[in-house]
Structure 1
Amino acid sequence: MNRIDAMIGRRTAMKGLFATMGLAAVPGLAACGDSGSSGGGGTGPITLGSNYSDAVPKGALDEVIKAFTQAQGVQVNINTKDHEAFQQQINSYLQAGADDVWSWFAGFRLRFFASKQLVGDVSELWKSLEGNYTQAQKEASTGDDGKQYFVPFYSYPWAVFYRPSIFQQKGYTVPKTFDELITLSTKMKADGLVPIAAGQRNGWPLLGTFDQINFRTNGYQFHVDLMAGKEDWAGPKVRATFDNWKRLLEFYQPNSLGRDWQDAAQSVAKGEACMMVAGSQQIGQQFKTANLLDDLDFFTFPQIDPAHGTDTIEAPIDGWCQAVKPRDKANADKLLTYLSTAQAQQAYLKSDPTSIAASNKADANAYNKLQQKCVQFVNEAKHITQFLDRDTDPGFASEVAINSVNDFIKNPNDIDGLVRRIADQAKQYFQK
């Protein structure tokens, strides 16, 4: 699925992924596709395990790999598996012997499997790739042991999206601080507009808002430690996050729990709502469909605590990993090196005008206005988070975080009880 993290299936797949976290292989399941790698030291074409199963991204990836083969003379067999199934069966896939190179995500999902020695260490290769990436992207590609296990391919930032034509028409100014956001939302509501579009029926969209408010309130390190189960969900810092979020709720669209994120994004395109916390890929696709992509802009979630500023952003990164023992290490490295280039990434993104190449050497002239701003946004970030369900245990995300956010939307007046319940449930997922 090219719109990774955009479709409902991504979230339903979390339960399947959580089931794999027990690290018990399922008999009979092998690497995806017709000719998966055994992970040993063989000969012949190298293999690429791909979850790019929809027709458009699959075709785009095919073209990228054809160009690699023409340039390097290395044959690559692409083993494509349904996007959801790939995530659900990832542990069995890795234990059975992953393809030489395989598609995956940065964040907790990477670090977890790296800690279990199910992902190949590409630290030496990274020494030749560093010029393509920012320090924040390297940080997102790094395991708990300080080694690199991931090569970024493309990403899409989360921020506050809006239509600049409406802001200009109404005389609205982009807020720099959280208090200014509250003031702006109050003015929009007085003007008879819905300040903030929200659609939570799919379960996952408002997790992104929690992320934004938490790292603005408490900083990057606290956020990633909280996601890893190293901080207390019932502590005062998490309470402060929900207290800040509560201030925004009166400006949300009514019935957010019953609305799809697509409908919420379309309400911004239609001018019915003014702003939405979303990913460029999600809301961008809705604006593209409405032929309004040129009238879509965004600003970083405003500052809450000056001590943390706005140097952390959320920008999920999709990319590639290597088998622990690829059949042909030299050619697997060549493929990863090619996939790290702006040339390969921008060739792929011809199919998606709402995401950006991970490489900082991408040609800005090939981008639309939205993508150009996304590039600057990502390149200037000191820290990059992935999205709550990529940065934490997927079982905790699907079984606790989503339900807790929904409970908060229903009843924002019991924050103390809410965080105590989260902390109690978190014990079964995180061991101190």
Structure 2
Amino acid sequence: MAASRRSVLRGLALSGLAVGSANALAACGGDSGGPATGEGATVKFGINEASGSGPAYDRLKAIADAYAEESGTEVALNAVDHNTFQESINTYLQGTPDDVFTWFAGFRMAQFAENGLITDLSDQWPIDGLNDSFKQAATAPDGKQYFVPISYYPWAVFYRKSVFEKNGWAPPETNDDLMALMDDMQGKGVTPFAFGDKDGWPAMGTFDILNMRLNGFDFHMSLMAGEEAWDGDEVKLVFDTWRQLLPYHQADPLGRTWQEAATAMGKGECGMYLLGTFVVDALGENGEDLDFFTFPQLDSSIPADSLDAPIDGFCVAAAGQNQDAGKAMAKWLGSAAAADAGNNAADAPFIAANSGASTSTYSDLQKKSAEVVGAAANIAQFMDRDTNADFANTVMIPSIQEFLKNPDDIDGVTASIQEQAASIFG
């Protein structure tokens, strides 16, 4: 996987996420000090999926069970719903956290490393089956590894194959093709793009891809790092292009979750959806009908070879009470065995980071996802992972939502973002 992105991990400061739900994320059980593995060893494992919540929980539970069986170590699972986990993570890590916890590559990982909240895992690398690109994604600005990847997934434009075949549609290869396709869809009473941003983060993916297509990958990453002006012509071009595309999207996106938007595509009410491969989780039996294409080129001077492909994995909490047990489990979590345990447990796309993992259970969608990401020249981690978390959550979510409510006030939106960015990034 070619992830030749430039470093944006400097000038980091601990973000001020909401902490009201911190108690819900508190580590389970008591003191877990003791041996690292085997009989008598216990490791606490905090995950960002509530018990019984779906395929993602099933995968993580199966991985935990597989490690317990293979190592003889007791795994104390602390399952918390995704939003609570995200909102409480800072207080959790500064309190009495679990030994190992689910997290993300990129800026979000590096922020915790810079602030001493996660453990240096450099002595666990190299990990067989994880190449240099994944090691790069696990590396903080100090050159040390603090993260172990397990999976990744691309953001792309998804569609139902049967709907495209029925209407004689084909995936667009150019911007002109895309415009013609959207016009034809509207002419046939189909809304071209499903769109839901009630939760705030899904629309970030649209900004990301438009910015990479219009201004290039390096500019995008510099912008995420606070090194470019948000009220400059480049960013205004992104919002203006988006404004012109909005009539081809479902109206009133702020009142719709991503799952509801996906359901509309599943019913054939919408033709396409820009989202991650997890979109299949909301489609039920229609999931097998899914295919995708990468967003086409918008500027002839900028290749369409960059995309968001977030990497998920694990960190060890610096305040965890059994560091040796945490490190031992973290290294195993990067193995092919861990990926296989997760993939065998849930019928949903899970593209293993480890090259030695089995692909026998991969769907066509998973296989294509791996091929597309492998062919990409540049990989971004998604806006809320590539930039300061406080900026992403307290500035960009409301700013993008304000734009979606009033897309003609681009100058006002970008000026507001720049003012706040200057305060956060300096």
State yes or no: 1:284 paired with 2:283: no
Aligned counterpart for 1:366 among listed residues 352, 361, 372: 361
Matched, 1:419 2:414: yes
**Quick one: distance in 1 between partners of 2:18 and 2:255?**
36
| Pair 1:237 & 2:231 matched | no
Match of 1:273 among 249, 270, 274: 270
| Pair 1:342 & 2:341 matched | no
Residue of structure 2 in register with 1:96 after alignment:
95
In structure 2, the residue corresponding to 1:379 is in which secondary structure? helix
Shift of 1:122: 1.8
Closer/same/farther in 2, CA of residues 171 and 36 from structure 1, 3 Å limit: farther
Q: Which runs of 4+ in 1 moved over 4 A?
A: 26-31, 36-44, 56-60, 325-331
Aligned length: 409
Once the two structures are TM-superposed, the CA of residue 114 in structure 1 deviates from its matched residue by: 1.0
Measure, in 2, the Cα distance between the counterparts of 1:39 and 1:89. Answer: 27
1:331 deviation in Å?
4.5
For 1:310 and 1:331, the matched residues in 2 are separated by 43
More deviation, 33-42/62-71: 33-42
Task: Measure, in 2, the Cα distance between the counterparts of 1:162 and 1:30.
Answer: 37
1:152 Cα deviation after fit: 1.3
CA deviation after TM superposition for structure 1 residue 111, in Å = 1.2
From the superposition, tell whether residues 186 and 137 of structure 1 become closer, same or farther in structure 2 (CA, over 3 Å): farther
Provide the rounded CA distance (Å) in 1 between the counterparts of 2:143 and 2:302.
24
* Residue 28 of structure 2: aligned partner: 33
Once the two structures are superposed, residues 160-194 of structure 1 have per-residue CA deviations (whole angstroms, 9 ceiling, x without a partner) of: 01112222222222112333322321222233321
**Secondary structure of 2:263 counterpart:** helix
Indicate the residue corresponding to 2:172 in structure 1: 175
Once the two structures are overlaid, the 10-residue window that deviates more, 190-199 or 321-330, is 321-330
Give the counterpart letter for 2:186 in structure 1: K
> What displacement does 1:100 show?
3.0
By how many angstroms is 1:136 displaced? 4.1
Residues 75, 69 of structure 1: alpha-carbon distance in 2 compared, 3 angstrom cutoff? same
Q: TM-score with structure 2 length normalisation?
A: 0.85
Q: Residue 277 of structure 1 aligns to a residue in which SS?
A: strand
Structure 1 Cα separation of the partners of residues 139 and 61 of structure 2: 28
Residues 59, 302 of structure 1: CA spacing in aligned structure 2 closer, same or farther, 3 A cutoff? closer
Partners in 1 of 2:423 and 2:384 — Cα distance?
Answer: 17
Distance 1:96 1:202 in 2: 27
- Taking a change above 3 Å as real, the CA distance of residues 180 and 146 of structure 1, as seen in their structure-2 partners, is farther
Identity of aligned residues (%): 40
Matches within 5 A, 1:70-109: 70-109=69-108
Q: Do the aligned residues in 1 keep the contact of 2:41 with 2:325 (CA within 8 Å)? A: no
- Summarize the Cα distance change of 1:230–1:258 in structure 2 as closer, same or farther, 3 Å threshold: same
- 184 and 21 in structure 1: CA distance in 2 versus 1, 3 angstrom threshold: same
> Pairwise mapping of residues 26-425 of structure 1 onto structure 2 (< 5 A)?
32-35=27-30, 44-55=41-52, 57-58=56-57, 60-129=59-128, 132-281=129-278, 283-288=279-284, 291-324=285-318, 331-349=325-343, 350-425=345-420
Q: Which whole-Å CA distance do the structure 2 matches of 1:408 and 1:58 have between them?
A: 34
- Matched letter for residue 295 of structure 2: F
Any conservation in 1 of the 2:22–2:88 contact (CA below 8 Å)?
no
Structure 1: which 5+ runs fail to align? 1-17
Q: How many angstroms apart in 1 are the aligned matches of 2:47 and 2:241?
A: 40
Q: How far apart, in 2, do the equivalents of 1:248 and 1:40 lie?
A: 57
d(CA) in 2 for partners of 1:165, 1:111:
43
CA shift at 1:234, angstroms? Answer: 0.9
Q: CA RMSD in A?
A: 3.2
Aligned in 2, Cα 1:232/1:326: closer, same or farther, shift over 3 Å? Answer: same
3-state DSSP class of the match of 2:360? helix
Give the Cα separation in 2 of the matches to 1:216 and 1:35. Answer: 50
Task: Provide the secondary structure at the position in 1 that maps to 2:171.
Answer: coil
Instruction: Provide the C-alpha distance between the structure 2 equivalents of 1:224 and 1:164, rounded to a whole number of angstroms.
Output: 33
Worse-superposed segment, 74-83 or 402-411: 74-83
Classify the secondary structure of the residue corresponding to 1:400. Answer: helix
- Asked if the contact 1:161–1:299 (Cα under 8 Å) also holds between the matched residues in 2, the reply is yes
* Residue ranges of structure 2 left out of the alignment (5+ in a row): 1-12
User: 1:379 offset after TM fit, Å?
Assistant: 2.6
| More displaced stretch, 346-355 vs 40-49 | 40-49
2-side partners of 1:136 and 1:183: how far apart? 37
- Please give the secondary structure, in 2, of the residue aligned with 1:338: helix
> Does the CA contact (< 8 Å) of 2:45 and 2:77 recur in 1?
yes
Indicate how the Cα distance of structure 1 residues 247 and 421 shifts in structure 2: closer, same or farther if over 3 A, else same. same
Whichever residue aligns with residue 116 of structure 1, its letter is N
* Post-superposition offset of 1:198: 1.3
Structure 1 residues 190, 116: CA separation in 2 closer, same or farther (over 3 Å shift)?
A: same
**Cα distance in structure 1, aligned partners of 2:24 and 2:254:** 37
Quickly say closer, same or farther: Cα 1:85–1:414, change in 2 above 3 A: closer
Displacement of 1:293 = 1.6
CA shift for structure 1 position 381? 2.7
> CA deviation digits over 1:179-213, x for unaligned, max 9?
33223212222333211111223322211101111
For 1:366, what is the secondary structure of its paired residue?
coil
Deviation at 1:410, TM superposition (A): 2.8
Query: Does the aligned pair in 1 maintain the 2:192–2:272 contact within 8 Å?
Result: yes
* Structure 1 contact 157–316 (Cα < 8 Å) conserved: yes
Q: Distance in 2 between matches of 1:308 and 1:139?
A: 24
Provide the TM-score with structure 1 as the length reference. 0.84
Which deviates more, 136-145 or 56-65? 56-65
**Contact 1:354/1:370 (CA < 8 Å) preserved in 2?**
yes
Aligned counterparts of 1:127 and 1:190: Cα–Cα separation in 2: 55
Aligned AA (1:99): D
